[in-house]
Chains A and B, each alone.
Chain A
C-alpha cells in the first residue's frame, strides 16, 4: 500500500507489474487522463499543484480505509504534479483482490475519495488563452466573464 506524487510521466506497465501477486485473482486499475475539454471549454494543457506531504498522508489514509472496507490484497495510488499535456495520465489507482467484485468497488472508492480529499489543485489552460483553477471561484486574471462562469459552476458543487 502506498500513495506517491510523481513529477515524471506515469507508465501503466511498470505500475501494473509492481502489483503482481500470486494470491490475486483479479486486478483493477483506473487511469485518469488529461482531456481536451471541460465545462464546454477547449482545454490545451493542465498544471497540477500538490501539497506533497499532506497529499501522501491523506492518500495513504484513503488506501488504509479501502483495505479495511473491502476484501482486497493491495491498493496503490500515483498522482502527477506539474505541467501535463493532453492525453497524459494524471492519476493511477491499482487494486488487487482474490475475487473481482471487491477490486472494482475499492478502486471506485479510492479514486472518488482522492479527488475529494487530497490537497491537489488543477489549473486548466484554454484554447482562447484564458486559464482557471478548477472548482474555485473567480479567476486569477480577473476576466469578468470567467468569474461569472465560475460562480455558476460553484453552485453546482
Chain B
C-alpha cells in the first residue's frame, strides 16, 4: 500500500470537489491509480485524452509511482 498526494485540475477538481487529496492505493502504475480515482469521483473523460504528471514531470500511464509522490491528473486540455 502506497500513500501519495493526488492533485486534480479544471473539471476533475470540480467533479472531485477538491483540488488535492491523500490517496492510499495498491495500484502499480499511475494509470491504475487514475482508474481508481476516476471511479471514486465520477471522472468521465477517457484516459487516452487525459495526461498525468509525477512531481511536475509529464509521464506515461504505465509509469509506476512511489510512496510520497505528488501525482497530477490533467483532464483534456483546451489552450488557445
The reply on B6 being an interface residue by CB < 8 A is no
A91, A111, A122, A133: residue with the most chain B Cβ atoms closer than 10 Å: A133
Would B44 and A115 count as touching, CB distance under 8 A?
no
- Asked if B75 is at the interface (CB within 8 A of a chain A CB), the reply is yes
Q: Which of A55, A91, A121, A136 has the largest number of chain B CB atoms within 10 A?
A: A136
- Chain B interface residue count, CB cutoff 8 Å, equals 22
Tell me the minimal C-beta distance from B13 to chain A in angstroms. 8
Docked CA distance A55–B76 (Å): 14
Mask: chain B, 35-66; 1 = CB below 8 Å from A; 0 = not: 00000001011100101010010100000000
List chain A residues, Cβ under 8 A from B51.
Answer: 119
Query: Shortest distance in angstroms between A64's beta carbon and chain B's nearest beta carbon?
Result: 15
* CA of A115 to CA of B49, assembled, Å: 13
